[in-house]
Structures are given as structure tokens and as C-alpha cells.
Amino acid sequence: MALAFDVATFNSGAGDRSFTHTPSGTPRAVAVVIAAADNTLGGQAVNDTVDGVTYGGVALTRVLRAVDPSTTEGGSAYLYFLGESVPTGARTVVVDDDATMANVTYGVWVLTFTAASDVAVAATKITEGDVANPSATIPTLAGYSGIVVAGLYSGINDPDEIAIGAGYTRLAGSQATGQDFGVMSAVCVHGAKSGANVVADFTALSNDVALVAAALAESSAQTPPYANVTIS
């Protein structure tokens, strides 16, 4: 069985999040993508607003965080991951929000994956700041074959104005959420990719951006499994 996308759950709101994710198959990996808007005076989303994520009581590893430091439309994107000993069946997902930042608005996607073996993060990339057509070239190796997961925070106020790259699927739950000083859109995608330097890309006008992208692969297919990974 090759690495394959299973199912996704979306949840949003402010403060700590607790909700249920129900896989369709037997999960071998889980990824959690978070987009956090700044809902506080002075661009506080540049602070780290997520204390941790658990899936069925098991702590996930933070793989990436990207930040757009704008004081008018600031925000962050996070990616957490677990690729071994994933609990089966319906499980509670908890996002632990920093207590001092309880009014930060989040969009949270939980993605599970099936596979024949444990799953590893093969390579990662972030993109930050004011850019048009935000993309991330992930430094995968020539023999890479797997699935890329990418999450985009944007200052654009309508997620429908953000197109996704070829080969990617946009997950339900793309959203626009008001802030004190502006608005944000959050989009999460996944897609099967292979080869060296795979790209996670979006098409949109220049705006505030925090983009996280990770290439996942079965551990048995990577030598060594984390040869090209950066953990933030």
C-alpha cells in the first residue's frame, strides 16, 4: 500500500480547540495545519500562539511555522506531524492556545494518511512576507515520491481569489475571518508529487503571506528518512 490521503477535518474559532477527527482507513500518519490570524492590537500574531497539538492524547511534533509580521494583517501558519504509532479510530484533536492569546482566530485542518509503513517528513519549506503568487520549492531528492501538504495564511479577504497549483486538492474549510485591522484567508491543500524540488504553489495578488509546505513519504522509501528535513 502506497502512501495515500485518507480524510480531513476542519475546525475554526478562537482559543483552545477540541474536536473529533474520524479516519476512514487505518491511519499511519496525521498532519495538522493551522492558520492563525492576528485578532489583537499591535500585530501579536508574530508571537507564537500555539503551545501544542495532540491527537488522541499523543503529542504531535511541530515541523514548521511561518510568520507574516504585518501589524495590519499579520498571521502565522503552522504544521504539526505524527508518522508512527498513530491512534486508530475516531480521536479527539486538541490545539492548545497560549492563554494570553485567547482571542486569536484559527483555522485548523487535520489530515490522516494510510500507508504500508511509518511515514516521514522528507523535506520542508516556508515562504513569508508580502509576495504575489506565493510558492515554496521543497528540496526533495530525485527519488522522492509521496504527498505534499501545504497551508497558506493570506491577507486576501476572499479565499476564492486564491488559486491552487496543478496536482493539488483544496480542502474544505478555506475561510475568510475578520480581524481588528484587516482580514485573512486560510487555504490548505494536498497532492501526490515526485522527483527533486517539488513545488507547492498558489496564484494570488501580492499580499501578506505565511506558507508552510512539507513533503511526506513512507519511511521505508527514504534513505535515511529525514535526510532533507528542516525542523523549525
Rounded mean pLDDT of the chain? 86
Q: What is the pLDDT of residue 177?
A: 61
DSSP label at 100? G
Cell output for 220: 521505508
C-alpha dihedral (119, 122, 126, 131), degrees to nearest 10: -110
| Number of helical (H) and strand (E) elements in the chain, helices listed first | 0, 18
Q: Any bridge partners for residue 48, and if so which? A: none
Q: How much is the average pLDDT of 183-194?
A: 89
How many residues in the chain?
A: 232
CA 232 to chain centre: 13
Q: What is the pLDDT of residue 176?
A: 62
Cell output for 64: 514548521
- Residue ranges covered by each domain of the chain: 4-221
| Rg of the chain, C-alpha, whole Å | 16
Q: Provide the pLDDT confidence category of residue 71 given band limits of 50, 70 and 90.
A: low
Residue 128 has pLDDT above 50, yes or no: yes
Cell output for 202: 498558489
Residue 217 has pLDDT above 70, yes or no: yes
Q: Provide the pLDDT confidence category of residue 164 given band limits of 50, 70 and 90.
A: very high
User: Is-above-0.85 flag for pTM?
Assistant: yes
Task: Read off the pLDDT of residues 13-68 as tens digits, 9 standing for 90 and up.
Answer: 878 899 999 999 999 999 999 988 765 544 444 678 889 999 999 999 999 999 88
Task: Read off the pLDDT of residues 192-203 as tens digits, 9 standing for 90 and up.
Answer: 999 999 999 999
